Amino acid sequence: MLFDVTQLALERAIEGAGKRHEALAANIANANTPGYQRLEVDFHSALASAMDRGDETPSALERLSFKPAKDQAAGVTRADGSTVDIDTEAAQLAVNALEQQAAVQVAHTRINILKAAMGVGG
Amino acid sequence: MSMFGGLEISASGLTAERLRMDVTAENLANAQTTRGANGQPYRRKEVILQEAPGSFGATLSSVMGGGQNSSGGGVHVAGVVEDSTPPKRIYDPGHPDADAEGYVSMPNVDTVSEMVDLISASRAYEANVTAMQAAKQMFSRTLELLR
């Protein structure tokens, strides 16, 4: 098999980070919207549970879909009823971008290894 | 949501925060205006923001597939409304707009709170710019995979 489970998982992680970025960007865009409930995409646990399926892992990874959900755990800290804390959102955004970069870099290196093995040079 | 959903969401935030800055600037400029458009003292304006629904496609797929699929369309300006608090009355009998008792109705603009609004809009604008830059970096990094 040319592309193994790890490569598939990396692809899904990149996709998940993209979805999470959308949710965090929406939170920041709504930083001044009264009563707004922050969105969160928990792609880490979705990926982890798919990776835990043994032989069914590849098909579980294929079927994964990352859905944004209202973050029920976030408490209201503001007078206008919004659960957005702009500093936390900005920090999470930076963390998420770095995670995406890590996944992309690993995927890139693995592709280069395959290329080298095929004799097309990396 | 398209591939560039993150950029569109942040762009909606930029539009909204810029409008807040424009409206705050108008309030500050008219802080002493006793003759507004209707002949009455100027009334402070305020921007109402609301969460924007997702695109038609995103809404349809969330109805068909059950559960929310996209993060929506960012933020939407629901409208600009006038602040209904009564005007401040200042005793200045020499003023051409003074009433029979010598009181002038001044706009209900508090310059200090307008300045605070201005800073909050400016900071929120910067946060949206940062989110946009992060999205741009993520897209170009993913494209690097093709090299």
Q: What is the pLDDT of residues A37-90, one digit of tens each?
A: 999 999 999 999 998 888 888 888 888 888 888 888 888 878 888 999 988 999
Q: Measure the CA–CA gap between A104 and A98, rounded to whole angstroms.
A: 10
Question: Measured between CB atoms, which of B51, B128, B145 is closest to A28?
Answer: B128
Q: Measure the CA–CA gap between A22 and A96, rounded to whole angstroms.
A: 11
Residue A18 has pLDDT above 60, yes or no: yes
Neighbours of B90 (CB within 10 A): 13
pTM: 0.85
Q: Measure the CA–CA gap between B3 and B142, rounded to whole angstroms.
A: 12
The pLDDT of residue A95 is 96
Mutate: best of B71, B75, B123, B138, partner A, most A CBs <10 A? B71
Q: Is B107 exposed, middle or buried (0-12, 13-18, 19+ CB in 10 A)?
A: buried
Mean pLDDT of chain A: 89
Q: Measure the CA–CA gap between A64 and B139, rounded to whole angstroms.
A: 21
The pLDDT of residue B53 is 82
- Which DSSP symbol is given to B101? T
Whether A104 contacts chain B with CB within 8 A: yes
Whether B123 contacts chain A with CB within 8 A: yes
The pLDDT of residue B1 is 46
Q: Is ipTM beyond 0.95?
A: no
Find the mean pLDDT for residues B58-71.
69
The pLDDT of residue B67 is 63
Looking at this protein, which amino acid is placed at residue B95? H
Q: Tokens 């569109």 belong to which residue?
A: B8
* Cβ within 8 Å, pair B142-A29: no
- Which DSSP symbol is given to B129? H
* Cβ within 8 Å, pair A28-B131: yes
Q: Which helix (H) or strand (E) holds B17?
A: helix B5-29
Find the mean pLDDT for residues B34-50.
91
Helix/strand/coil (H/E/C) assignment for every residue in chain A: CCCCHHHHHHHHHHHHHHHHHHHHHHHHHCCCCCCCCCEECCHHHHHHHHHCCHHHHHHHHHHCCCCCEECCCCCCCCCCCCCCCHHHHHHHHHHHHHHHHHHHHHHHHHHHHHHHHHCCCC
The pLDDT of residue B39 is 85
Whether B27 contacts chain A with CB within 8 A: no
pLDDT per residue as tens digits for the range B77-126: 999 999 999 999 999 999 999 999 999 999 999 999 999 999 999 999 99
pLDDT per residue as tens digits for the range B7-34: 999 999 999 999 999 999 999 999 999 9
Question: Measured between CB atoms, which of B1, B135, B145 is closest to A108?
Answer: B145
Whether B69 contacts chain A with CB within 8 A: yes
Whether A78 contacts chain B with CB within 8 A: no
Specify the 3-state DSSP secondary structure of B10.
Answer: helix
* Cβ within 8 Å, pair A69-B123: no
Residue of A nearest to B13 (CA): A29
B81: chain A residues, CB-CB within 8 Å = none
